[in-house]
Homo-oligomer: A and B are copies of this chain.
Amino acid sequence: MSLGPWLIAPIAAVISIFAALYFYHYVNKQSSGTPKMIEISDAIREGSRAFLKREYTILAIFLVIVGSLIGVFLPSPMWINANPIQNLSLALAYFFGAFCSALAGYFGLDVATRANAKAAYAARSGLNKAFPIGFRGGAVMGLAVVGLSLLGISIVYAITGMPEGMEVPPVLAFSFGASALALFAKAGGGIFTKTADISADLVGKVELGIPEDDPRNPAVIADNVGDNVGDVAGMGADLADSYIASTVAVLILGVALGFVEIALVFAGLGIIASVLGAMTLRIGAKGNPGKALNMGTYVTCIIFLLLTFIVSYYMNYDLKIWGAALTGLAAGIIIGTTSDYFTSENKKPVMKTAESSKTGAATTIITGFSYGLESVFPPLVGIGIAAAIAYYLYGVFGIGVASLGMLSIVGLIISNDAYGPIVDNSRGIAEQAGLGEDVIRITDELDAAGNTAKAITKGFAIGAAGLTVISLLGTFQEIAAKAGQAVVFDIMNPLVLLGALIGVAMPAVFSALLMLGVGRNAERMISEIRRQFREIPGLKEGKEGVKPEYAKCVDIATTGALRELLPASVITLVTTLVVGFIGGIGALGGYLAGSILSGLLLALLMSNAGGLWDNSKKLIETGVHGGKGSEAHKAAVVGDTVGDPFKDTAGPSINTMITVMSLVASLFAVLIVKYNLLNLLGY
């Protein structure tokens, strides 16, 4: 491994980690406020840590099993392979990938659960004092994730390179490790957060009519913990997963073209752009935090495009490659902007859905669901056009670069996204600690800004996942071809078709398992909340000194989430291997294509419908159609509750699921080419 321009990747990664440490230090030195606030914040942090610890424990068992399988069988069974050090290196890369991702999650969660109280306390002095704490708290997660991810890839690459003689590159195993973690983090966190959210709302808001975040509600701490484990740790792992996968896909696809290092160079420059964007993000005394976050995104995009253009020019890279990256970035912004239309309070879909709430919950659901269905059109077409242009510029490699372009600024995107749950928590702490209406209003403003930024970043996340899995499909085809089986994924080939039909069903089944898990889990928690209100004297009336047993609710959410996520994860893995080892490469290719198509459809539908119902409810709460407490509001609350697992559990987990399936397929492609049932039977 020679010294070369790829070193920009590890250097940028280290810079990013140092920037994260700087923000960590910045956040930590802020005051955490009153003893009451510290108490609440500590409870949230303890709950989050307890969840993470138990999640990581189960994950470790899962990792050891899958890692052993990899070590024994890949790239070829140990007892056949002349060079079993290859098996060892794949297994180690796999563990390392999971480790890097887990570390980033832990680190990010820790600071997020500190920043919440600090931002709430600073809100007493005004918006412009609180905002940087929220943002920089989120940026710790964002910069740590991309830094550790890219550092990990760089280390694996530095040690193993892209060995020509080895059919399965270790960076692929690294990516799979990170994805396995992401699947657990996203699905488990998603089940946790919605269990707590739905249960707290149903008993608190609907049955008893007490406000959101009311300290009497036994599920209120679990709800706050959920924001962190679901939206901070889960979402960070999800984006990191796409980021690593697209970098690795471009690495692998680049080998054949002699462009190995471009992936690392572009990823490194993306990190530098993200660090600069995060560092320079400011809000004036009367600034608008939503605008500041969006401005940060645009600034980062421009820095990235300038840096990559300059480097491409001086390194004599074909500018078409840069064009592909530009295509990806542009598509991300366009997709984000159009998705925004379907979830904005002042646009037709949300307004019509709110209006339909006047005739009850059923029409709220039908109308919102219908707009959710419509909302899939612009992003799907956008992803298709971006892929076609990128392909025209540079083939499948171009599609990979486009996804890399979109994801290059992911450091900032995760920062923006993690900002949301932090300030959402701040609001909760302000309410529970009784900081007064003025402070709550400021935290509400901070919260609203998070939602504005989310619209654009969500466009990036979905678009990037789409392009990433398409390029992973190309990687899979390339690896299979190298292993001796060139297959065209022709939809009229009966095995490809059968695979595609199974693949189409997979994201649906996966979503169903997660949502049913939320339902079962919420039932358990609702009983517990009702029990506490019934059995703890003075709780309902809010008697001084009477406190609910918060920890019990956290415990129920934790145990349940971990129990429910395993079947979905295992089915994802096992079905992929079964389709491959029975039907061969063609069936597996169809399966991946089918799951990509239906996965994007369902992810967009559920995310957007969920966001739309959420904002319809908020719109009614501003006073239209009767405002809070009206029949329309009750109907809108039903919509919002249905939307919760749509947008925060099932929808976003599908991205991770598809990535995991694609990576498993690529990893095992070599083995599947040699050993698959139909082949062995002579078909």
Contact = CB atoms under 8 A, between A and B. Distances in A.
A642 B597 contact: no
Nearest to A356: B519
A641 B508 CA distance: 22
Contact of A360 (B202, B363, B645): B202
A391 interface: yes
A523 B359 contact: yes
Given A362-B641, A369-B515, A384-B497, 7 more contacts: A362-B637, A370-B513, A371-B516, A384-B502, A387-B494, A504-B598, A598-B601
Contact of A384 (B377, B498, B645): B498
A522 interface: yes
Contact of A509 (B373, B515, B594): B373
A374 interface: yes
Contact of A387 (B470, B497, B512): B497
A120 interface: no
Given A370-B516, A396-B492, A526-B359, A384 B508 contact: no
A593 B500 CA distance: 10
A245 B489 CA distance: 26
A490 interface: yes
Interface of A: 198, 202, 206, 356, 359-363, 365-367, 369-374, 376-377, 380-381, 383-385, 387-388, 391-392, 396, 399, 470, 473-474, 477, 488-492, 494-495, 497-502, 504-505, 508-509, 511-513, 515-516, 518-519, 522-523, 526, 589-590, 593-594, 597-598, 600-601, 605, 637-638, 641-642, 645
A645 B526 contact: no
A325 to B, nearest CB: 17
Contacts of A638: 360-362, 365, 638
A99 to B, nearest CB: 33
A373 B594 contact: no
A370 B519 contact: yes
The oligomer's copy count stands at 2
Contact of A362 (B600, B605, B642): B642
A432 to B, nearest CB: 25
Contacts of A505: 376-377, 380-381, 601
10 nearest CB pairs, A to B:
A362-B641, A384-B501, A391-B494, A384-B498, A373-B512, A370-B512, A373-B508, A388-B494, A370-B515, A489-B491
A570 to B, nearest CB: 16
A69 B491 CA distance: 31
A427 B605 CA distance: 38
Contacts of A376: 504-505, 508-509
Contact of A388 (B383, B488, B498): B498
30 contacts: A202-B359, A359-B522, A359-B523, A363-B519, A366-B518, A366-B641, A366-B645, A367-B516, A370-B511, A370-B512, A371-B512, A372-B512, A374-B509, A376-B509, A381-B498, A381-B502, A381-B505, A384-B500, A384-B502, A387-B498, A388-B495, A488-B492, A489-B490, A489-B492, A491-B491, A491-B590, A491-B593, A597-B597, A598-B598, A598-B601
